[in-house]
Amino acid sequence: MEQIDLQQLLEQVQQGKIDVVSAISRVGGNIKDCGSARLDFDREQRCGFPEFIYGAGKSIEQLLEIIPAIIANNQPVLATRIDAEKAAAILEQHPEAEYDSRAKTIIIRKKSLPQKTGKLLILTAGTSDLGVALEAQYTAELCGVTTELVADAGVAGLHRLLTATNQLQEADVIIVVAGMEGALPSVVGGLVKCPVIAVPTSVGYGAALNGFTALLGMLTSCASGVSVVNIDNGFGAACAAIRMLGLKR
Amino acid sequence: MEQIDLQQLLEQVQQGKIDVVSAISRVGGNIKDCGSARLDFDREQRCGFPEFIYGAGKSIEQLLEIIPAIIANNQPVLATRIDAEKAAAILEQHPEAEYDSRAKTIIIRKKSLPQKTGKLLILTAGTSDLGVALEAQYTAELCGVTTELVADAGVAGLHRLLTATNQLQEADVIIVVAGMEGALPSVVGGLVKCPVIAVPTSVGYGAALNGFTALLGMLTSCASGVSVVNIDNGFGAACAAIRMLGLKR
Amino acid sequence: MEQIDLQQLLEQVQQGKIDVVSAISRVGGNIKDCGSARLDFDREQRCGFPEFIYGAGKSIEQLLEIIPAIIANNQPVLATRIDAEKAAAILEQHPEAEYDSRAKTIIIRKKSLPQKTGKLLILTAGTSDLGVALEAQYTAELCGVTTELVADAGVAGLHRLLTATNQLQEADVIIVVAGMEGALPSVVGGLVKCPVIAVPTSVGYGAALNGFTALLGMLTSCASGVSVVNIDNGFGAACAAIRMLGLKR
Amino acid sequence: MEQIDLQQLLEQVQQGKIDVVSAISRVGGNIKDCGSARLDFDREQRCGFPEFIYGAGKSIEQLLEIIPAIIANNQPVLATRIDAEKAAAILEQHPEAEYDSRAKTIIIRKKSLPQKTGKLLILTAGTSDLGVALEAQYTAELCGVTTELVADAGVAGLHRLLTATNQLQEADVIIVVAGMEGALPSVVGGLVKCPVIAVPTSVGYGAALNGFTALLGMLTSCASGVSVVNIDNGFGAACAAIRMLGLKR
Amino acid sequence: MEQIDLQQLLEQVQQGKIDVVSAISRVGGNIKDCGSARLDFDREQRCGFPEFIYGAGKSIEQLLEIIPAIIANNQPVLATRIDAEKAAAILEQHPEAEYDSRAKTIIIRKKSLPQKTGKLLILTAGTSDLGVALEAQYTAELCGVTTELVADAGVAGLHRLLTATNQLQEADVIIVVAGMEGALPSVVGGLVKCPVIAVPTSVGYGAALNGFTALLGMLTSCASGVSVVNIDNGFGAACAAIRMLGLKR
Amino acid sequence: MEQIDLQQLLEQVQQGKIDVVSAISRVGGNIKDCGSARLDFDREQRCGFPEFIYGAGKSIEQLLEIIPAIIANNQPVLATRIDAEKAAAILEQHPEAEYDSRAKTIIIRKKSLPQKTGKLLILTAGTSDLGVALEAQYTAELCGVTTELVADAGVAGLHRLLTATNQLQEADVIIVVAGMEGALPSVVGGLVKCPVIAVPTSVGYGAALNGFTALLGMLTSCASGVSVVNIDNGFGAACAAIRMLGLKR
Amino acid sequence: MEQIDLQQLLEQVQQGKIDVVSAISRVGGNIKDCGSARLDFDREQRCGFPEFIYGAGKSIEQLLEIIPAIIANNQPVLATRIDAEKAAAILEQHPEAEYDSRAKTIIIRKKSLPQKTGKLLILTAGTSDLGVALEAQYTAELCGVTTELVADAGVAGLHRLLTATNQLQEADVIIVVAGMEGALPSVVGGLVKCPVIAVPTSVGYGAALNGFTALLGMLTSCASGVSVVNIDNGFGAACAAIRMLGLKR
Amino acid sequence: MEQIDLQQLLEQVQQGKIDVVSAISRVGGNIKDCGSARLDFDREQRCGFPEFIYGAGKSIEQLLEIIPAIIANNQPVLATRIDAEKAAAILEQHPEAEYDSRAKTIIIRKKSLPQKTGKLLILTAGTSDLGVALEAQYTAELCGVTTELVADAGVAGLHRLLTATNQLQEADVIIVVAGMEGALPSVVGGLVKCPVIAVPTSVGYGAALNGFTALLGMLTSCASGVSVVNIDNGFGAACAAIRMLGLKR
C-alpha cells in the first residue's frame, strides 16, 4: 500500500474509480491476521525495511505461525532474541533457517536480494559486544546492505582503533557498539563526517547499570551529532542505518 | 587539516617533503589557543560542521574572546544557551549578531554560504517545544541546510499531524521534538522511510522527569530505526541531520 | 455488611435492637478467618467487586485453603499470577477451574451471574501485551461486564488503530494496554470522550525499564483525563472499569 | 467536527455532497491557528471538555493571543500554572478574569453553562494539598460539574476522615489529593464503590521525592481499582472525572 | 479525647449515659477548625506529643491563624521550616516567640512544663548538621525532655567520638544526625545498648544525593537495631524519641 | 567485656592491677576467631542482643563452623535467610534446631531464658508479609521478649485493624510490617503513643519497586515519630524493639 | 598528636611517665574548639594534609572564627565553595587572602612551605571543567606539591590529547577532570603507568545527570586501575594525589 | 612496544632507521589476534600490569583460545568471574591452574616473578566481602606485590579494627572492601596517611541497592583523599594499587 494519501483516495472515490468499501479497507493497509499477531506487510514500502519478528515475548507456537506467513509473502525472515530451545523448534520446521547463538537470531535468507548502495561499518569496543553487533549485521544484510564488522577496538588501547582509520574514512554510516562507559562513539564521532549510530550494551557490572551508563554517556557525548538507540538494540541501529543509506539512492 | 593519515605523513617525512616538527604540529591539528578555550578549526573538515560555542558554562569575557576568533577564521558564529544578560553584552560588541530569546541562541551569519542538498523537516509536538526546535533550525541553516518547521502537531490531536502528510513525505531527514510522553516520533517513524531523529524536551512536570520520560519513550519506540539525542539538544539533532544529509551529495 | 454506619449502629445499640458484642463484631465486618488469610466477604457490597486472590506470594497450601472458602461463600474465584505448578495443583482439586497460561489466571465461574450495563473495550498495543489484557478481561467478565478485546493496534502502524474507530466510539470504558513507550493511550485519549484507563506493561528491554517508561509516559500523556494503574495490573484496570461502569446503573 | 468518520466522509464525497478539498480540510478538524499555538476547538465534542491553556511554558504575549481566541469561540477560559506576574498582565486585559494564587489558575466563566449530572467529591490529605485540589475544582466547575471539597482529612487522624462518611457515600466520583506517603486513596478506596482518582502532590521533603513517593504508593495501593494521574495534576484528575461522569448521562 | 474505644462508647450509648449525637461527635475527636487547617487537639493524649506546625507549605496568613489557636488551647508552639520573612511576621504579632535561623524554627514556650523522665543525647557528625539537631532539640524540650547536644563528632576523627564515651553510656535514647556517607550511627550503634535513631541530612554534594546516600547507608547499617527517619527530619526523630522515653515512665 | 572505658582501663594499668598486654587484648574484646568469621561474644553486653548469624552470604561449611561455636558460648542460635538446602544440612548436624521455611530462619533455643519486661506487638498488612513478621518474632523471642502477632490488617479493610484496638493500646512497642504502598504505619502511628517501628517488605510488583515504595512511604509518614528499618528486615526491627524495651527495666 | 598507639600510651601510664587525665586527653587529640566547629589540628600528621575548610554550609561568622584559628596554628588556609559574598567578607578581614571566582576558593599561603617530591598533572576535558581543576591545583600547591594544568583536551579532538604525550609520560600522578560522558580517563588510563584519579564534573545537561553519567562512566572505565572521587571534588582528588605522592618519599 | 612517541618515530623514519610500514605497524602495537579477542601484549609495559581475562562474557571456547596465547607470551594468567563449569573445563586443559570458588578466579602463576617494593594491605568489613578481597589479592600477587588480608573488621565492632592498628600503620597502600553502608573506608581514611582505595561490594539487601549504597557512601566519605572503584571490583582496586606502588620504585 502506498502512504495514506487521503486526497488521492477521496478523488478516486469521487471519480468512482474505487468504491467506498475498498477505500476503507485500503486505509487499513495490507495487514495479515495471523493468530495473535497482525503482520504489517506494507512496512517495507512505508519504512524501508520489512516486518521482522521480535522473539522475546512470543511462544514457539506463535513463532511457527508467523514465520510461514512471512515466507509466503516472499519476505526474508529475521527473528531476534530467540533462545536455544525456540531455535531448535524453528530449525526442525525450517531446515533452511540459520541460528546464531551469539546474536540469538534466526534468519531465513531470500534468494535474490537487491543490493543497496553504501557501506555500513559496525565497530565494537569489546569482545562481549559481539552479539549485539551481529544482530545489527544480520538485519542490515537481510535488507541488502553491505557491511563490515571490526571488533574489540575500545579506547583503552587506542592504537587498536587507529589501525582501522581507513575503514572509518570509507564508511557511509558507522554503528558503534560499546558497553561499560561507552566512550568509543565519542572518539569515532570526533574522527569522521558520516552518521554515527551509537548502541550501548549491557556489558559490565555494578556501576555499568546494565547498559544505562553507556547509554547516558553516549547521549552526552562530547562529539556532536552522534545519535543513539536503545541498549543492546543492534536491530534498531541497523534499521536507522537503512533509513540513512536510503538518502544515497 | 586532513584526517590524520599517519602513513602519508610518515612517507612525506621520509621523503623529506616536510620536516619532523611540522609533521608533529600537523598531528596536533589546526588548534587556535584562545584564552581558556582551544578552538578546533579543523572540525568542519573532519566532521562536516564547524566549531560552535556551547554557552552554558562560559563567562561573558570568554564569549567575547571566542567570538572574534571564530569570525577571524571566516566561520559563522552560533552560541547556544545564551541568557539575556550575556546576549546583551555580545550584541553591544557585535551589532550584526541576532539573538532569539526563545532558542537562547546568538548567531552571526556568513555572507555567502554554500547550500547543501536535501530538505530537513523539524516537527514539534507542542508550542513549548519551540525553543529546542529553533536551536536545531539555526544550527542547520548556518550549515547551509534548507529547513522547514511545523509546530504543535502532537498525537492527542492526530488530525494536526495528518494534515502535514505531504511535508512528511517530502523530507529527507525529520527531526521530531517532543516533551511529556514523547510519543510523536513513534507515530512519525511508522509513516515515513527517511531518517527520524527524536529530540526529547524537558517540557512537562512531575512524572515527565525533566525530559527523561520522553527520552526513555523515544529510545523504546515501537517504530524501528528512530534514533535519539540528549534532552533539549536541538543543536545535536541538527548536527546528526547534517551528517546524514552528507550522504545525499 | 453495610458500610460502617456508626450513627445507625449506635442508635440500634441504644434502642436495644442489638447488643454491644454483636455491634462490635459488625464493625469488624464479615471476615472469614482462613488460615493465614482473612477473607473480606463484604468487599463486593462495599467496593463493587468480590475478594479475589493475589496468587504471587501464596503457597499451594494457602491457595487450596482459600479457594474452597470462596466457593462456599457462593462467589466466583479469580486467582492471578498463578504459575503452571500451582495451576496443576488447583486443577487437580477443582476440575471445574480454568487456567490460562498467558494470563496466568485461574478462574472458577459462577453459574448465574447478573450482567452489568455498559461495554468495556480492551485494546493492546502489541501481541506481547496480551496476557495483561486477558487478566483484565477475566476479571471484568467474572463481575458480569461485557468485554471486547482488540489486540496489536500500536501506533507504529496507525491504520491498525483507525480501523477500530467504530469500537472506540461505542465503548463505555476503554482499557489500553501498552508496553515500550506506551504511546497508545495518548492517541486513544485524543479520539474519545469516555474514560480511558491506561495499563503499562513490562514488555520491552533496556530503556523500557521493565514497564516504568510506559508508566511514566502514560502519566504525562498529552491527552487529558487518561488515568493510570500499576505496571502489568490488568486486574486493577478491570476493577477501576467496574467502579466506572457502576455510574451507568 | 464529528469524530473522523472516514466511511461517511468518503460516501459524501462519492455522492458529491462535499468536494474533495472541503473533505480534506474537515479531516484536519476545526483548528484555529493562533500565533505559535494551534487551538483545537473540536476537543470538547471529541473528548468532553474544551481546549484549556497549560500556562507553564507560555509567555505573556502568547497567553494574551490565546485567551481572546478562546473567548471569541464562546468557550470558558482556564489557564493553569499562571504565576502572579502573568496573572496581573491577564487581569489588566481581562478584568472579568479571576485569579487564585493558591491554585495558580486564571478562569473566565461562561454565563450560561449546562450543568452535568453527578457529584464530584474532592478530598485532600493536608492543608498543603489545597492548591492542587482547587485546580481540579475550577476545571470541573467550568465544565458544569457540581463539586464539593473536603480538606485536611489525612490518615494520621482517622476520625477526620470518618466524619466525612456521608459525603464519601454520596459522591459519584471521588478525587483524592495527597502528598507525603499518599495513603489516603487506599483507605478511601476500601470504603467506597465509586471511581476513585488519586492525585499525588509534591508536598513533603527528602524521601517524599517531590511527589514520587505518593505517586508510587498510589499505584501500588492495596485498595483495588484506584486509578492515578500525574503529580500535582488536579486538572487531569478533573478531566478524568468528567469522562467518568459522562457515563451517568 | 481518649483513644476511640468503640465498645466503651457503645456501652455508654446503650446505658443512656451519652446520646448518639455526642457519641458520633466524640468519634470525630477534638478538632478545631481553623481556616484551611483542622487542628487535632487530641494528638498529645493519643500520641504523646501535641499538634505542631509544619511551616513549609503555609502562608503567613495561615500561620497567624494557627498560632493563636494553639496558644488558646494552652499548648506550646513549635513551627518548623520557617524562613526569615515568615519569622519576622510572627515575631511582630508574638513578641514572646523565639526564632532560631539555624534550625528555622519558631517556638513559644509554655510556662510550666511537666518534665519527662530520661535523657536524650543528640549527636552530630559535622558542623553543618547543626540545624537539624537543633530542630530535634527544640521539639524534645517543648515536650519536657532533658536533652544534651554534642556536635562535630564524625568518624573521620574517631577520637572526637571516643571522648564522648561517658555521654553515650548515660543516654536513654540517642539521636545521631549525619550527612555525607552517614557512617556515625553504625559506630554509635555498635557501642551502646539504648535506642539509636538515625537522622540523615542533606549535607554534601554530588554523590551525597541530597541526603539519600546517608539515608540508604543508615538503613543498611551493619549495627543492628538502628532505626531511621526521613532526611533532615529532626522533628520526627524527636517525636520517635518521645515515644520511646514514654516507656521509662 | 564491658564497654571500652579507657579511663578506668588506664587507671588499672597505672595501679598495676592489670598488665599492658592484657589491657590491649581487652580493648580487642571477646572475639572468637572462627574460620572466616570473628564472632563478637561481647555484643549482648554491649548492645543488648547476642551475635546472630546473617546466613545470606555464608556457605554450609561456614554455617557449620559458626553454629557450634555459638552453642559452646552458651548463646541461643538464630540464623536468618537460610534456604531449604542449608537448613537440611544444619538440621542433620543439629537435630534440636527448628527451621521455618516462611521466615527462612533456623533457631536453636536456650533452655532457660530470662524474660524481659514489656509486650511487643507485630502487625502485618497482608498475608505475604508473614515471613518478615516471623523473622522479627523469632529474634525477639530468643532474646526473652513476649510477642504477639496479628496478620492481615491492611488499610484497605479498615475494620480489620479497628478490631485490634485493644492490642494496639496494650503494646509497649509495635512493629508494623507492610509492603505495597506501606500505609499501615501511618494509621497505627496516629492511633497510639508507644514506639512504632515500620518494616517495609518487598511484597508487590511494578511500582512497588521491590519494597522501596513502602520504604519511602514509611519515611514520609504523616504520622510523626514512626521510625523505619531496611526492607524485609524483620531481624533489625526486633533488635530496635529490644533496645527500646530495655528502657522499661 | 601521633597515631593513637594504645600500647605505648598504656606503658607510659604504667611507668608513671604521664598521668591518666593527660593520657585521656591525648586520646582526644589536638582538637581546637572553635565555636560550632572543632578543628582537628593533628590531621596533617595523621593523614598528610592539614584541616581545610569546606565552606558550603558555613556562615560568614563561622568562617571568620575558623580562619584566624587556622592561621594562629601556623597552617595555610584553604576554604572551598566560597561564593562572592562570603569572599568579600573574608578579604576585608584578611587582605592577604586570594579569591578565585572560577574555583570558588579562598587561600592564604604560608611563607615557607616544604616542597614535596613528585609531579602532579591535572588534565581537563573541557573549558567548563576548569573550576574543579583549579580547586585541585590550589589544594595540592598549598601542600607543597608541584602541579601542571592542561585544559581542554577532550576525546572528541584526540589530537589535542596526543600533543600532551610528553606531559602524560612525565607525571607521577594524573588527575583527569571531565564532565558529560567522562571518557577522557579511559583514554589516559590506557596510555600511562602512573596512578590516574578521575574527577567527574557536573558539566552538561539532560542525560549528563549533573555529573552522574561521568561518575558512572569513570567507575566502569575499560582502562583498569583508574580510581574515582565524588562529582566536582577537585579537593578530594588532590588529597588522594597527596596520599599517593607520599609513597615517593 | 614503547609508548607511542610520534616525534621519535618520525625522526627514525626520516633518518631511514625504520621503514614506513614497520612504523605504521608499531603504532598498532603488539596485538595478538586470537579469535574474537585481540590481546594487547604491550599493556604491561604501558600500564604496569599485563592483559588479564574478564571472564564474564566469554564462552569456554573463547577462554580456551585465550589462555594458551597468554601462556605462550610468557605471562601469568588471571581470569576473573569464572563460574564452576568454566573452571572445570579450564582445569581439564590446564591442570596447573588454580581455581578459587570464593573469588571465582582462575590463576596460572609464572615461575619466576620479580617482586615489587611496598606492602599492600587488604581489609574487609565482613565475611561476605571475602571473595572480592581475594580477587584483589590474586591480582596483586600475580604482579609481584606482597599482600596481607585482614577480614571482618567492620565498624559495628570498632575494637576489631583497632587491634589491626599496626598493620594499618605499616601498609603502603590499603584496599578497603565493604558492603552495606560502606563506612569502613571513612574510619580507615581518618587514621592513616597512605592511599586508601575503597571497593564497595554488593553485600546486603533492600536499601543496600546491590552495592550502590556502599559506593555512594564511599564517594562522599568524610575522610578526604579516599578514592573508589566499581562495585565488587577487586581486580580494579589491585590494578590501582599497582599503579600507586609503582611510585615507590
pLDDT of residue H25: 52
| Residues of D with Cβ-Cβ distance to B130 under 8 angstroms | 36
Q: Is the pLDDT of residue B2 over 50?
A: no
- Contact present, F247 and E245 (Cβ < 8 Å): yes
ipTM of this complex:
0.90
Is G247 at the interface with chain F, CB within 8 A?
A: no
- Would the CB atoms of G24 and F14 count as touching at under 8 Å? no
For residue B180, what is the nearest residue in chain C, using CA coordinates?
A: C220
Comparing CB atoms, the residue among H224, H236, H240 nearest residue G239 is H224
Distances (CA, A) of B13 to B27, H5, H11, H20, H22: 13, 15, 8, 10, 14
Which H or E run contains C187? helix C184-189
Is E164 at the interface with chain D, CB within 8 A?
A: no
| Residues of D with Cβ-Cβ distance to F204 under 8 angstroms | 220
Pairing of strands E98-100, E105-108: antiparallel
Is A4 at the interface with chain D, CB within 8 A?
A: no
pLDDT of residue C89: 96
The answer to whether domain F119-246 has CATH 3.40.50.450 is: no
> What is the CB-side half-sphere exposure of residue H16 using CA atoms within 13 A?
2
* 10-residue stretch averages of pLDDT, chain D, 249 residues long: 57 70 58 72 80 87 91 92 96 96 93 86 92 96 94 82 83 96 93 95 94 96 94 97 92
Pairing of strands A98-100, A105-108: antiparallel
Radius of gyration of chain G measured on its C-alpha atoms: 20
Please give the average per-residue pLDDT across G181-209, as a whole number. Answer: 94
Residues forming beta bridges with residue H206, ordered by sequence position: none
Is G193 at the interface with chain H, CB within 8 A?
A: yes
Helix axis angle for H6-14 and B6-14, nearest 10°, is 40
| pLDDT 10s digits, D98-145 | 999 999 999 999 877 778 889 999 999 988 899 999 999 999 999 999
Distance CA D82, CA D104 (A): 5
Distance CA B200, CA B22 (A): 45
Cell of G97: 587572602
Q: Give D33: exposed, middle or buried? Use CB within 10 Å, 0-12, 13-18, 19+.
A: exposed
pLDDT of residue C2: 39
Comparing CB atoms, the residue among D4, D219, D242 nearest residue C229 is D219
Please give the average per-residue pLDDT across H6-16, as a whole number. Answer: 71
Q: Which residue has the cell 493524649?
A: E45
| pLDDT 10s digits, A110-164 | 877 788 889 999 999 988 899 999 999 999 999 999 999 998 888 887 777 877 8
- Give φ, ψ of F87 to 5 degrees: -60, -45
- Give φ, ψ of A75 to 5 degrees: -120, 155
| Residues of D with Cβ-Cβ distance to C236 under 8 angstroms | 224-226
Is G219 at the interface with chain H, CB within 8 A?
A: yes
Residues forming beta bridges with residue C224, ordered by sequence position: none
Pairing of strands G146-150, G173-178: unpaired
pLDDT of residue F228: 97
Please tell me the pTM assigned to this model.
0.92
| Residues of H with Cβ-Cβ distance to F202 under 8 angstroms | 206
- D84-D88-D90 Cα angle (round to 5): 115
Helix axis angle for C234-245 and C130-142, nearest 10°, is 40
| Residues of E with Cβ-Cβ distance to F241 under 8 angstroms | 225
Of the two residues H228 and C166, the one the predictor is more confident about is H228
Q: Which residue has the cell 523471642?
A: F141
How many pairs of residues across A and H have Cβ atoms under 8 Å apart?
A: 53
Q: Does residue G106 sit in helix, strand or coil?
A: strand
Listed residue (F209, D182, D232) closest to B206, CA to CA: D232
Domain locations in chain E as residue ranges: 6-108, 119-246
- Give φ, ψ of E54 to 5 degrees: -85, 105
The pLDDT confidence band at residue E2, using thresholds 50, 70 and 90, is very low
Is G72 at the interface with chain B, CB within 8 A?
A: no
| pLDDT 10s digits, G56-68 | 878 898 899 999 9
The pLDDT confidence band at residue B179, using thresholds 50, 70 and 90, is very high
Comparing CB atoms, the residue among D31, D36, D211 nearest residue B151 is D36
Residues forming beta bridges with residue C88, ordered by sequence position: none
Is A199 at the interface with chain B, CB within 8 A?
A: no
Buried b (16+ CB within 10 A) or exposed e, H196-228: bbbbbbbbbbbbbbbbbbbbbbbbbbbbbbbbb
Is D203 at the interface with chain E, CB within 8 A?
A: yes
Is B43 at the interface with chain D, CB within 8 A?
A: no
Interface test with H, best of E158, E168, E212, E222 (most H CBs within 10 A): E222
Pairing of strands H146-150, H119-124: parallel
The pLDDT confidence band at residue A27, using thresholds 50, 70 and 90, is low
Please give the average per-residue pLDDT across C215-220, as a whole number. Answer: 96
Helix/strand/coil (H/E/C) assignment for every residue in chain B: CCCCCHHHHHHHHHCCCCCHHHHHHHHCCCEEEECCEEEECCHHHHHCCCCCEECCCCCHHHHHHHHHHHHHCCCCEEEECCCHHHHHHHHHHCCCCEEECCCCEEEECCCCCCCCCCEEEEEECCHHHHHHHHHHHHHHHHCCCEEEEECCCCHHHHHHHHCCHHHHHHCCEEEEEECCCCCHHHHHHCCCCCCEEEEECCCCCHHHHHHHHHHHHHHCCCCCCEEECCCCCHHHHHHHHHHHHHHHC
Comparing CB atoms, the residue among B14, B24, B27 nearest residue H13 is B14
| pLDDT 10s digits, E72-86 | 988 999 999 999 999
For residue A168, what is the nearest residue in chain B, using CA coordinates?
A: B3
Comparing CB atoms, the residue among D128, D160, D208 nearest residue E38 is D160
Distances (CA, A) of B129 to B232, C185, H49: 9, 21, 51
Is E103 at the interface with chain F, CB within 8 A?
A: no
Is E247 at the interface with chain H, CB within 8 A?
A: no
- Would the CB atoms of C3 and D172 count as touching at under 8 Å? no
- Would the CB atoms of D227 and C242 count as touching at under 8 Å? no
- Would the CB atoms of H243 and G46 count as touching at under 8 Å? no
Q: Which residue has the cell 455508654?
A: E12
Q: Is the pLDDT of residue F215 over 80?
A: yes
- Would the CB atoms of F47 and E189 count as touching at under 8 Å? yes
The pLDDT confidence band at residue H38, using thresholds 50, 70 and 90, is confident
H helices of G143-230, in order, are: 158-162, 165-170, 184-189, 212-219
Percent of chain E clearing pLDDT 90 (strictly above) = 59
Q: Which residue has the cell 489557636?
A: E69
Percent of chain E clearing pLDDT 70 (strictly above) = 89
Detail the DSSP E strand segments found in F21-172. 31-34, 37-40, 53-54, 77-80, 98-100, 105-108, 119-124, 146-150
Q: Is the pLDDT of residue B68 over 50?
A: yes
Q: Is the pLDDT of residue G246 over 70?
A: yes
- Would the CB atoms of E27 and D206 count as touching at under 8 Å? no
- Contact present, A204 and A244 (Cβ < 8 Å): no
Cell of A142: 537481510
For residue F51, what is the nearest residue in chain H, using CA coordinates?
A: H157
Q: Which residue has the cell 585544559?
A: G151
Is B213 at the interface with chain C, CB within 8 A?
A: yes
Listed residue (A192, A203, A139) closest to A164, CA to CA: A192
pLDDT of residue D6: 62
Distance CA A24, CA D21 (A): 19
